[in-house]
Structure 1
Amino acid sequence: MKRVIVCFSLCTVVCHQAQSQNMDIDLLRKFNARNPTGQTYWLQTSNSVYYAAPTITAGSLAYGLIYKDKQAIKNSFESALSIGICLAVSGGVKSLVNRERPAQRYPDLINSSTESYGKSFPSGHTTLAFATATTLSLQYKKWYVTVPAFAWAASVGYSRMRLGRHYPTDVAAGALVGIGSGYLSHWLTKKIFK
């Protein structure tokens, strides 16, 4: 539980850092693609969260039901809880901070391959990716699960900057909220399934 509190506390520090817009935009310009065409790989990486998170949850549940594996069923519950927490926190913070996306605020500086709508802080894609990676690493505790999971989550975060959809502080806050959501769901699942 202490780790969850630390992660969510760090999110407020990152939120404060979001006020220093110059540093944020300067760093984003280094990550952002100069030419928005040919971004298919990064767009697919970015959108992979919509498939990975629910597939992992549903796959674990299906395996648990087919093979009567209680641990797999518990893991699917934990994954679903992590997704729910991260989406609720991310959506709530987006509404409170109400930050414009970089391509909307700086159309002459930031390239975006498609129109960006919605609010920017924190990155919802990054939040979901890191919540999924954290949940998997807490469930399986094997380097060959943890390393690829966090490499994928980091690539999702990078893709959001590369595509001009989020500032670096949006991505950092998303990672913190996602990690915190993973730890919170892990802690709550242990309490529920005692």
Structure 2
Amino acid sequence: MVATSPTQESLFSAQDGQRLAGGFLTIAQTLALAELGNLVLDASSLLISAGVRLGVANRFYPGVVIEAAPGAVVTIGRGNTFWPGAVITVRAGTVTIGNDNQFGPGGFTASLDEAGAISIGSRCRCRDGASLFRGSVLGDGAQVLGPIQVQDCFLAAGGSFAEPAPDARGGVLKGVGRARHLTIGRGQVIEGSGRFDPADVKPQSFHHPSARAGS
């Protein structure tokens, strides 16, 4: 163990006081998450509320925030990767995250300010500024790619982005803008710019002609 000076100890104590006041784990408690097999790359820049239900083998890069207000529920499975800038804030309601998901790189937000739910399955990918709000349901393998604000949307389950057959993958939203009240089926994608129109839904193989040709 690296020895700390009285000045460092005083600084850590002050930081912990602020963390506890905000309902977050102390730096030592954050480091202790590694005992569950989680990888904590920078405990001083990782903020996790004390009430978060956290599984094993998750990877946390610097600058991640997972905040759950009293009475809110955040449950995270195993094997998830939270890239720098991933932020989950829950004032009320429930956020449920499965296993082996990728949140980032490029930023990710999940936010609930009122009663409701966000549900994310397993092997999903949300990156490059993707934002999920109340009523977002991502089945296994679903993807949100780009700075898209998603609310009350259902993305069906399927294979992950690594699935060789694009039309067997989970539903995908890609582009930029706001997506509201949409259902994206297995193997389907909507690419939007500003708005996302259900009339624009396409098979994912449309964007992967080589895979389509090889099928």
- TM-score bracket for this pair, using the shorter chain length: under 0.3
Higher strand share: 2
Q: What TM-score does the superposition give when structure 2 sets the normalisation length?
A: 0.17
Larger CA Rg, structure 1 vs 2: 2
| TM-score (structure 1 length as normaliser) | 0.19
